[in-house]
Amino acid sequence: MTYLFALITLELLIVSFIDIKSKKISNYWILVNLLVALGFYLAGIHSFEWKVFIYPLGSIVVGFVLFLLQIMGAGDSKYLASLFLVLPYSFHQIFLENVLISTILVGGILLTVKVLTRFRNIKGYALSFHIKGVLSEIRSHFSYAPVLLLAWLLLGRNIW
């Protein structure tokens, strides 16, 4: 499993760097993950059962809803789904928990910074009951791959 941890850590470092610079995760990385997952299943490294699709499909469905709400990019949810396919099923639950913890942590920090730096504007919109103005001030689009990297490193700490 050390090879898997190193492989995914390297990939997430590269994807995070690209995501920070371009604010986009290329479908190329999703294809890479699908090919690696297929190789793992064909080689018998991971067991191929119907349940391995629960978390990937769930991340696509939830990601689509978050995409419609302009909270998450389409590439982010597709990439997360493909990443789940690379992982053995026994890691899915704990990785999802770490993704949620990392998302809340990073999102909370970014929200706090937004509120502190734009407090005067937010207060003005709030006092005039201009909800769209408040939301426009606190909305933050951030690169999601570094959040996944943080979740992956937390997973490594928990299982290795």
Q: Write out pLDDT tens, residues 50-80.
A: 999 999 999 999 989 988 877 788 889 999 9
User: How far does the chain reach from its first CA to its final CA, in angstroms?
Assistant: 9
- Is the CB of residue 30 less than 8 Å from the CB of residue 38? no
Distance CA 87, CA 159 (A): 13
Single-letter amino acid code for the residue at 27: N
State pLDDT tens for residues 10-38: 999 999 999 999 888 999 999 999 999 99
Q: What is the mean pLDDT of the chain?
A: 89
Instruction: Give the span between the Cα atoms of 109 and 41, in whole angstroms.
Output: 38
What pTM was estimated for this model as a whole? Answer: 0.84
